[in-house]
Structure 1
Amino acid sequence: MMSLTKWRQSHEDTGYILQKNAPITQAIVAQLRMRKAHSVFKWVKGHAGHPGNEAADKLAAEGAEKEDEDEVVLTIPPDFAVTGAKLSCMTQKLAYRAIRARKDAKTKPRPRAVANLDMITSGLQDRFGIQLRDETIWRSLRSRHVTREAAQFLWMGIHDGFMIGTHWLRPKMADELKTRAKCATCGELESMTHILFDCPAEGQETAWKLLKKLWQLTGCEWKRPCWGTAFGAACAVFKSADGARKHDLESLWCILCTEVVHMIWKMRCERIIQKGGAEFTRRETTNRFYSALESRLMVDRRVAAKASSKRALKPDDVARIWHPILEDRDNLPPNWVVQSGVLVGIKRRR
């Protein structure tokens, strides 16, 4: 409603560049202008028994249950079409966004990226019962609970940008390079799914078992991640018995899952490139697992200690998120997050 009233003029002046669902908003504004009477908008409280609001909720629920989407005509008559942006309102940010939007519209999506996004969508729906758009999945990679290094790995993985598997089987590849398409341990054709979940080489199986033991400390049901739930970890939804979302648990899952998949990938690369195929020991995997999580906890503590903006991670946030898996968690001082002299570690289950 605000897009049609308070922010309408601002959106029109800037050419709807930063406005989400711009075609829908523009079509509605055009329809309102074609009316020969005044249009009045009145805000009503949701879920308060208002007849109009209840009817709208009913129609929305019916629309969500449809198997096929309705075709919505968004054509705007030329006399009512407002195009472009005012030069007086144009900024470098707006110009950059407009250029990127035009380029993105002409760029065809990568088939493998589309297939991977479908796997994430189906995995999240099966595990958490949620349906997400591709934009939501991409945006989740910028979550404050995903490190920059992990986000880059997830982004490349979704785009299938790593040189593994079938990438080595391109026609112009030399025969000696084509042998790299198969796993050096089991001889299977390598893929990200194989590396993270199926490879018998020491690393992934131990890491997931350690994560299972750690996750059981939260009291939440454990289900072994798949490709979709691992790469879509930042979109996970956990709810209590009464339907309330457990945001702290969602944040913890995002941190743990993204750190583990990134660790498995780094260990695989180190095993192939630096160690010449020599496998890690189980003790080395265990030490790396806890070292990665404790390093991440230290990063969160440092970030929270310097928090200044409203969206920054606060000390209370860090304490709530990490509390279920900390060693001696009930005996920590109240302000342990910002006290550099307090040693805090991840609880190790035997």
Structure 2
Amino acid sequence: MIKQVQALIKQNFNRIPLPADIWKSVRHKDFTRQVRNFLWKSLHNAHRIGNFWTHIPECEDRAICQFCGVTEDLEHILLKCERPGQHQIWNLAKELWLKKHDRWPDLSLGAILGCGLASISNERGKKLPGASRLFRIIISESLFTIWKIRNDCVIGNSGTPPSLKMIHNKWLFAINRRLELDRTMASRQRQASPGSTGLQAWVSTLKDEDKLPDNWLRVPRVLVGVEPHQPSATPPRRRGRNR
């Protein structure tokens, strides 16, 4: 797993991190405690999925994805499973990221688990700390939302995959919650402004950003520029002619 992370960090950011740097990155301050625990277990291959179950009597069937019929390892859950969830969430993550930056990286398990090492630069090689922070937030919140949706369906024994509306709005809630947390923390600081380090991440991603005041910290409700899921409009039924 460490080698996968090293290879993808080299591919995406042109550097090879030391194993110690990778372990340190899972404790990054931009991650929630739940994400840190998830990443730590992932690098240790310690999740109770896939081959964990193959040698436990009467539990062998748990190793197989009930939706796809293949071994349910972490790469499958986060990137390949056809169960509603992962594909839709990564599309939403890409949509938000492209508001901030012009290139969405190729995702792989190594790139996802190594997102704490992300270092985004512009075309002149200048580091962009705000963009790097947003990337860490988007990737970490997306992967953990996928994981929670999978657990709700598999461990919760609901059986029925969640609706596209539920998936969309769960992800959007997680991202907006992080934005609100950053805004609340910044507003408590003296002389804080949207240009501060923490809030630079959100510049260019906000809903109706051109209509917000220069200092939008105290605006009651600030959201990212991804709309909640709206069901497709159904055409009205044609009524028979009155006789």
Range into which the TM-score falls when normalised by the shorter chain: 0.7 to 0.9
- Unaligned residue ranges in structure 2 (runs of 5+): 230-243
Name the residue aligned to 1:58. none
1:289 to 159, 162, 171: 171
Task: Give the % identical residues.
Answer: 27
Shift of 1:275: 4.1
TM-score by length of 1: 0.61
2:220 to 342, 347, 350: 342
Name the residue aligned to 2:60. 178
Bigger shift: 120-129 or 269-278? 269-278
Shift of 1:237: 1.9
Output the CA distance in 1 between the equivalents of 2:33 and 2:187: 19
Q: How does 1:1-350 map to 2 (within 5 A)?
A: 116-170=1-55, 173-175=56-58, 177-307=59-189, 316-337=196-217, 339=218, 341-348=219-226
Cα deviation 1:268-326 (Å, max 9, x = unaligned): 00011224321011111111111110011112223333459xxxxx9722331111211
Name the residue aligned to 1:38. none
Output the CA distance in 1 between the equivalents of 2:106 and 2:145: 17
Output the CA distance in 1 between the equivalents of 2:27 and 2:195: 20
Aligned residue pair count: 226
Output the CA distance in 2 between the equivalents of 1:132 and 1:119: 11
Larger Rg: 1
Query: Which AA in structure 1 matches 2:216?
Result: W
TM-score by length of 2: 0.87
Name the residue aligned to 1:43. none
Output the CA distance in 2 between the equivalents of 1:128 and 1:304: 29
Query: Which AA in structure 1 matches 2:203?
Result: H
Shift of 1:132: 0.4
Query: Which AA in structure 1 matches 2:179?
Result: L
Partners of 1:195 and 1:268 within 8 A in 2 = yes
Partners of 1:301 and 1:315 within 8 A in 2 = no
Which fold has the larger relative contact order, with Cα–Cα distance below 8 Å and residues 6 or more apart in sequence?
2
Query: Which AA in structure 2 matches 1:155?
Result: W
Partners of 1:305 and 1:315 within 8 A in 2 = no
Cα deviation 1:150-205 (Å, max 9, x = unaligned): 111111111111100000012xx122x11100001011001000000000000000
Cα deviation 1:217-244 (Å, max 9, x = unaligned): 1232112321111111111122222211
Partners of 1:208 and 1:224 within 8 A in 2 = no
Output the CA distance in 2 between the equivalents of 1:166 and 1:288: 29
